[in-house]
Structure 1
Amino acid sequence: MDIQQLKLMAGRVRGLLEQSKHTIGHNQSLDLIAALPGLRNWPEVQAFPDRVTACELDATSAGRLGFRLKRKFDLNLTPQAILGHLSPSASTNTALAPQIWPTGPQPGIYVTDSQEAIDALLANYEDATDGALIYAERAGNHWEGSIDLGEGGLWSSGLWRVPSGTLLVVGPLLFDQQSWNSTRDRLEMACLIAQGAGHRVAVLIDTPTPEAMFEDVRLIVRSAQPEGEDYEAALLGSVSAEGALQLRQPFATSRPVLAQVPNVATPDAIPASVRNQLANALAGKTSGLLLFGSSEIEEHSAIELVAASLAMTEHAGPAARIMPRHRPTPAKDWLVPQAIQQLPFLPSIESAYAQGYRRMIVSPHYTRAELMKQFSGDVLFISGTYGSVVDDVFMRFFVAGSLKREEDLLSSVLAILGVAYAHGSHGRESICDLYLPDRAKVVVPAKDDDLTQFIQDGRVVRWQDELVQLLGEGRLTRSAVQTALKRNRHVADFLSSLS
């Protein structure tokens, strides 16, 4: 047995559980199938490939899987029943020519970013096959002759029993940071089905960069395939506007040279009280995390500060903005300063990195903290969130992902700037809180309370000092501060301490 066969069987187990009203994810199915070679989870499968090679699909290995299914899902299956479900002879079709449309295009993966192209393909397939069934996700489930795969149908074992050459329609797959991993899982399974069952798979892609669609598909598939496997061989071509499955050789080409975008950013939005210190701290820095927070509730938090930082980090090379998610109202993506509007709007950190970008604007709410940590040695990340106190700003970067140790990310931070805004006698005033790391302090505390204190102790500008100065000069009143910063839990206590 090899790892690819094990992955195929994981998909069949997932389909089996769905028939029993148990919905699991792709990673959970991989952990379950690890029982066959007697391993606890998928990381152990990858760590001990010799155990997989030595494993045979027999009553003993099926019994181990049956025990795991019983323990986790209270599902009673005999080893013989499991063997019947997982046996390649029962679920795969290895005919030399596709049974459906034998003179048609080669089985494999064909991609497009056009729903109209998918609709034309469905009509062509129906004519060529005299109405053969189509298995489709949302991109094709409206067709009269299609069977709806639903969200998890791609993992259904039934797809391995239908005649080879059957058309599967997958998607739309969203290319954005929030969906990148789930899109990878679905593309991986689509490749396994195309290669293992001999089906034709049309994939509808929704991407902000259709000109890089083929390269991004290849990037995702390469990131999913284990060493020694060749899922990429399933990537064959495109769906034309006329609905034809066309070979594309090569499927993906090399990335173009980065275009130099003129810098129109200025540092003016960075408050004068911290501008020089921040600029000096960023001088020569080409990697790490630059975090901003603002007390104002906006569609794009602290976006003026983020835009201003582009002027301070131009030495780090071309910049790109990462698409956090697909919004119901796409126009809101463009409610940003001109300096950010003109940047390339790319689907993910991984895609931007593959294209050569090393300065990226990301959203903490849709970007996994562990991903930022992974790339922070090579990439300068710039991000904004709500908050005006540096420790609060930092903790908001753990909304997404599963990074367990906040201190792991803090070691990559170049600066944290929180700015509170209030209106006073001279107009809009800013109250800054600026953290700059002391590189001499190499040990970052692990406990949350100690970590908070560590960040507060690392401030070179404190919001308390700035507030006292503004109050003393009469530029702000206490009532104005309390009104503007009523969400800041620290302000009321601090003002009381001044009485």
Structure 2
Amino acid sequence: MDTQQLKLLAGLVRGLLQPSHPSLAHGQSLDLISALPGLRNWPEVMAFPDRVAAAELDITSTGRLAFRLKKRYAVDMSPQELLEALSPPGAFVAHGAPHVWPTGPAPGVYITTSQDAIDALLGVYEDATDGALVYAESAGNRWEGSIDLGEYGLWSSGLDRVPSGTLLIVGPLKLDQQSWNDAGERLEMACNHALNAGHRIAVLLDTPTPESIHEDVRLLVTSRPDHTDHDTALIGVVTDAGELEPRTPFAQLWPRVELVPTVATADALPASIAGPLRDALANRTSGLVLFGSGTIDDHAASHLVAASLALTEHAGPAARVMPRHRSTPSKDWDVPEAIRALPYLPSIESAYAQGYRRIVYTPNYTRSDQLLRVSNDALLISGAYGSDLAQVFKASSRYGAAQDEESLLSRIVAIAATVDIPTSSGTASVADLYIANGLDVGTLKRFKEVDEFMTAHRLVRWEDEVGHLLDTGSVTHEAVKEAFPRSHGIAAFLAKHAADRSGQTA
């Protein structure tokens, strides 16, 4: 390289900055381009011709220029983008060998579900690079040669200065419904670092389905908003021996899903709602079916969800979704046998991508936009705590924007809530039931309006059923009040019922 070539390149840099910095002077562009030979300004270029002659236009020199552009003018371009912009038209721009471990495995994203594999990789990397630094999240930050990425993780600005080929350790990333979006964001950023900076990135994942981890990771990356070519950075696995091993292709096609007959029956549904629900679900293959129970339980209304499986087999294969990672995983299996028998997958998105069209999910850990994306083409079934329709609907719409409530209501096929009340001879179940049945939801905007709409269009009313039990002496006011511990309307209902009875007696 010589000074004349640098002057030409300075003109190109000035052109790149023209839209955002139209007042950039020629002298300022010369000072910028002096970063290519590693000098501070143009006078140093003139003073050190040997340094200029030894300089090359490569990923190393454009890395210095990228840093200077960002620091002085807040222009964020990767070294590779600058190399392509400054190279002659039609010239082949090769990705240079990584600075760190130049003869090692290709830069990219490598995945594993084993902490032992990550630990082994750290040892291999240290030996191969004579102790080069590692930048790590919690999966690798206990290693002596690691720098903790801290709370900003892969978004840490200091990573822009890390030499190419450096090992980054990410994770553990939890694949479940609660963490699905977060895992996607972090995998997307990992791919960015691999593609733009040439780093080697090992990702530790925790998933209920390790056998389909590659397919789930590909889905997470390719389904990100504005996805382009990020998935090309997904290239391999971390072996048990700590090797970064390519895998071609990285992910396979999903296996064909077979419809397995359910062992469920509809016996758990109260008689007052069983018939209407059977009719409402008879031909439905998409939408939301929400169940609620007045019993406070880890798996609220799971008996109703299981019963609904017997009414929906026509909609296609069924699976259930892991809501979150528990400290006691065994509790995930404290559900009816019909639900326990279903494939247990990390997310609604994964289940849908594999071909499942009945998906059992937990609303407390599911965002409204995730429901809206899938419920047009699959039947989503959930159980939550709720002694009336309003409580059940609120549980399903709590993680979303206000405008999602109207959209969710338009996707609902049915909402049913049941409450068990002790009687002198056992237990009586009372119910609230709403079935859409083509009802026009109009332009409901607020939760109160949605609540009033559903209440006005109920097929079965808990007030009627409780009132009948009270009138016949089957239950007491105290038993009813205890069965509805979180209902704001129960006190007013009981007071009115007592007043009505007093009026009839008088």
- TM-score higher than 0.5: yes
Report the alpha carbon displacement of residue 351 of structure 1 after superposing the two structures with TM.
Answer: 0.9
Aligned position for 2:251 = 252
Q: 1:408 to 1:471 in 2, by over 3 A?
A: same
Distance 1:271 1:430 in 2: 7
One-letter code aligned to 1:135: Y
Does the residue aligned with 1:236 lie in a helix, a strand or coil? strand
In the TM superposition, residue 85 of structure 1 has moved relative to its aligned partner by 7.2
**1:235-384 matched pairs, under 5 angstroms:** 235-384=234-383
For 2:272, give the aligned amino acid: S
Comparing 94-103 and 176-185, the one that deviates more: 94-103
Matched with 1:129 is 129
Shift of 1:405: 4.1
Q: Does 1:205 align with 2:205?
A: yes
Distance in 1, matches of 2:121 and 2:23, equals 42
Q: Residues 280 and 55 of structure 1: is their aligned pair in 2 closer, same or farther, counting only changes over 3 Å?
A: farther
Aligned counterpart, 2:56: none
5+ residue gaps, structure 1, are 1-52, 63-77
The answer on whether the counterparts of 1:293 and 1:388 sit within 8 Å (CA) in structure 2 is yes
Cα distance in structure 1, aligned partners of 2:214 and 2:368: 27
**Contact preservation (8 Å) 2:261, 2:313:** no
Which residue is 1:86 aligned to? 76
Matched, 1:387 2:373: no
Q: CA deviation at 1:441?
A: 3.2
> Aligned partners of 1:365, 1:436: CA distance in 2, in Å?
22
Partner of 2:57: none
Give the aligned residue type for 1:455: M
Q: Which runs of 5+ in 2 are unaligned?
A: 1-14, 25-67, 84-93, 499-506
Contact 2:180–2:347, Cα closer than 8 Å, also in 1: yes
Q: What does the per-residue CA deviation read over 1:222-245, in whole Å, with 9 as the maximum and x for residues that have no partner?
A: 122636x31111111101111111
Alpha-carbon distance in 2 for matches of 1:56, 1:204: 43
Cα-Cα RMSD: 2.4
- How far apart are 1:481 and its partner, in Å? 1.1
Give a deviation string over 1:164-193, Cα, whole Å, max 9, x none: 111111111111111111111111111111
Any idea what the Cα deviations from partners look like across 1:427-485, whole Å, max 9, x if unmatched? 01111111112415352533443322210111111111111221222221222112222
1:429 alignment partner AA: A
Judged with a 3 Å threshold, the aligned counterparts in structure 2 of structure 1 residues 492 and 289 are, in CA distance, closer, same or farther, namely same
Show the counterpart of 1:493: 492
Distance 1:80 1:131 in 2: 29
Structure 1 residue 264: Cα displacement: 0.8
How far residue 87 of structure 1 moved from its aligned partner, in angstroms, is: 5.3
Alpha-carbon distance change, 168 to 441 in structure 1, aligned in 2, over 3 angstroms: closer
Q: CA distance change for structure 1 residues 403 and 117 in 2, over 3 Å: closer, same or farther?
A: farther
Q: Is the 8 A contact 1:360 1:380 kept in 2?
A: yes
Relative distance call for 1:81 and 1:104 in structure 2 (3 A) is: closer
Secondary structure of residue in 1 paired with 2:320: strand
Match in the other structure for 1:59: 21
Equivalent position of 1:436 in the other structure: 435
* 2:481 and 2:491 in contact (8 A); partners too: yes
Conservation of the 8 A alpha-carbon contact between 1:57 and 1:83: no
Structure 2 counterpart of 1:143 = 143
1:65-102 Cα offsets, whole Å, 9 max, x none, are xxxxxxxxxxxxx9984436735459999861111111
1:164 corresponds to which letter in structure 2? Answer: S
SS in 2 for 1:396: helix
Partners of 1:387 and 1:490 in 2: how far apart? 13
**What does residue 110 of structure 2 align with?**
110
Conserved? CA contact 2:302–2:335, under 8 Å: yes
Q: SS at the partner of 1:152?
A: helix
Structural mapping, 1:12-27, within 5 Å: none
Aligned residues with identical type, % of pairs: 53
The answer to whether structure 1 residue 220 and structure 2 residue 182 are counterparts is no
The match for 2:190 is: 190
Q: TM-score, normalised by structure 2?
A: 0.80
Residue 477 of structure 2 corresponds to 478
Deviation string for 1:280-316 (max 9, x for gaps)?
Answer: 1111111111111111000111111111111111111
Identify if the C-alpha distance between structure 1 residues 235 and 448 changes in structure 2 by more than 3 Å, giving closer, same or farther. Answer: closer
Could you tell me which residue of structure 1 aligns to residue 5 of structure 2?
Answer: none
Query: 1:218 and 1:479, CA in 2 relative to 1: closer, same or farther beyond 3 A?
Result: same
Q: Higher mean Cα deviation, 337-346 or 443-452?
A: 443-452
1:397 is displaced (CA, Å) by 1.4
Change (3 A) 1:116 1:431: same
